[in-house]
Every structure is written in C-alpha cells, then in structure tokens.
Amino acid sequence: MSFGMLVDGEWSYHWAEHDSYGNFLRMNTKFSNTINDITENDRGRYYLYASYGCPWAHRMIMVYELLGLDRFVKLIIVEPHISDDGWYFTSEHPDTNYHMRYLRELYLRSDSQYTGRVTIPVLWDSRDEVIVNNESSDIIKILNSQFHEFSTFDIDLFPMADCAAINDQITYYYHSMNNACYRVGFAKSQDVYEFEVRNLFIELEKLDCKLSDREYLINDQLSGADISLLPTLLRFDIAYYGVFKCNLKMLKDFHNIERYKNNLLENPAIMKTFKVDHIKSLYYKIPVLNPSAIIPLGPSMAN
C-alpha cells in the first residue's frame, strides 16, 4: 500500500504523481487564500498544522519560531509518518484543536467534497473552520507580513526592497534543489533517475561556488530565500543521500554549502526546529522507497 488522497470527499488509496516516463510530478496545492486585517481579537484563532520532518512545513516552522508567534498562533505537529491513511495524530503528537485522528478530517471540515492531496503545512482558521492556505511559500509570507504586528521578534524576512530578488531565489531553488531531490527520489525509471541526479549535483556545485564568499543568499541578511532552501540542505545527508539515492557526494563534502548551513543553524530559533529523528522517521518509512521501514543509525553528523 502507498499514499492516498481525497477524491470527492472520500479517501482513495491512489498515488498519481508520475507521468508515463517515470517523472515525478508534484500536484499543486488547492487552498490559496490570504488573511487581511488581523486584530488582537484573533489571538488563538489561527492554527498551523505541520511536521518537523517535512521540508515544506519546516520552512514555515522556522518562520514561526524566528518571529516568535507562539503566543498568537498555535502550532500542531503530526506524527512523523505518512500512513496509508495519510498524516495522523497520536497521544505523543495530538491534535489539541479538534482531537482528530487523521489530518484529512481537517480538510473535510473545510470542504466536505475536497479532491486532492492531504498535505502539510496548513494554515487553519478555527473561527470560520476553513483552510486559509496550504502552500508553504504563501504561508511564510502571510506569517511574515500579516502576523508581524503580533510577533515577539521584529524580523522581516521579506523586506520590500529585496522582495523580488527573494522570490526569484525561492522559485529557482524550488526547481533546482527543493523539488529536485524529490524528482530524484521518486523517479520511476533508471534514465529519469540518472538525468535528475546529475542535474541536481550540477546545481549543488553552482550553489557551492555562489556561497564561497557569502553567508546569505541575498545581501548580508537572513531572508525568506535562506529559510526556503535550508530544509532541503538539512535533509540531504541524513535522508536524501540514502533513501532518495542523491549520493554522488555527501552534502558535507561541499564545504561552502556546509559552512552556510552550519552558520544558519547557529541561530537558536532555527536550531530548535531541526529534529533529525522526525526527518528520518518520515523519509525512511515511505513504503515505496523503503519497504522494511528500517531507520538507519547513521550517518554521523560530525564533520
């Protein structure tokens, strides 16, 4: 059995994310609203559903922690495993909002006839009982701008003057890094795999050169571009190298990328979000990639 999705509100054990050549094609997310005019009365109204294992959710959790939004928005963490029934909750990772068993129940609360993947992250409005947005690249911007007034720390990850450049970098690295690792890992033919893995390592070489004399992707300050790229780098050696077969080199052999990654990790708000056990659990329990679900002990994180 593999992942499933909702079709007209019913759970279906169906996984349609490949073309006939074996290329991985990610489905687009379906909730793309935003929030306007948040006031003090909205404290506790919004929830973020997330996983420390998922890179798309991880970027959102990083923004949440960097801004210090915990007194305004609640964060709910799913069990780090996608089952045949999708994301789910346990006593260790409970849904403290509705006490649901499966994340799909949240999607159905928002749209009882929903058709699509049941993905995280999710920005949930508990007053209107709707999913506001389930696209990480949108949610990080919503948190940064609309929730800024209610954040503990005065950080702007999308400063107006650099916004276009940040968005360009997010799009570029989405294709060349974030999603590229998935195209390698979920390739369904040898040719597709080899094509994708070679391209990925060409892009890693380019990134390593780019980072030879800089600490951040844009100018000399942390931005949404770094936060969007970093989750992929953090998963590389501990998951993608093994389970996705992204193994022409380890990431730690790219010295500039490694320095850049470790420098970002020195930020306590970022370090707090990096949970190796959640990442390994999520990826090594994907049945089509690792039917035994055995989680490797290594690699050692030491340099």
Q: Catalytic residue numbers?
A: 54, 182
Q: How far is the CB of 53 from ligand GSH (least distance, A)?
A: 7
Residues 63-82 that bind ligand GSH (CB under 6 A): 82
Between CA 15 and CA 251 the distance in angstroms is 30
Q: Does 135 bind ligand GSH (CB under 6 A)?
A: yes
Burial group, residue 21, by CB count within 10 angstroms (0-12, 13-18, 19+): exposed
Among 86, 185, 224, 242, binds ligand GSH (CB under 6 A): 86
| Closer to ligand GSH by Cβ: residue 209 or 293 | 293
Tokens encoding 227: 């936060």
| Closer to ligand GSH by Cβ: residue 118 or 184 | 118
Among 6, 38, 48, 54, binds ligand GSH (CB under 6 A): 54
> Is residue 1 within 8 Å of 104, Cβ to Cβ?
no
Among 81, 93, 117, 285, binds ligand GSH (CB under 6 A): 117
Using alpha carbons, list the distances in angstroms from residue 94 to 84, 99, 274: 19, 7, 20
Between CA 198 and CA 190 the distance in angstroms is 12
Among 6, 120, 270, 286, binds ligand GSH (CB under 6 A): 120
Span of 114-122, 158-166, 228-236, 256-264 interacting with ligand GSH by CB under 6 A: 114-122
Q: How far is the CB of 40 from ligand GSH (least distance, A)?
A: 28
Q: How far is the CB of 219 from ligand GSH (least distance, A)?
A: 25
Strands 46-50 and 74-77: parallel
Residues 21-50 that bind ligand GSH (CB under 6 A): 29
First to last CA, the chain: 38
Calculated CA dihedral for residues 265, 270, 276, 280, nearest 10 degrees: -110
Q: Does 285 bind ligand GSH (CB under 6 A)?
A: no
* Interface positions with ligand GSH (CB under 6 A): 3, 29, 54, 56, 82, 86, 117-121, 135-137
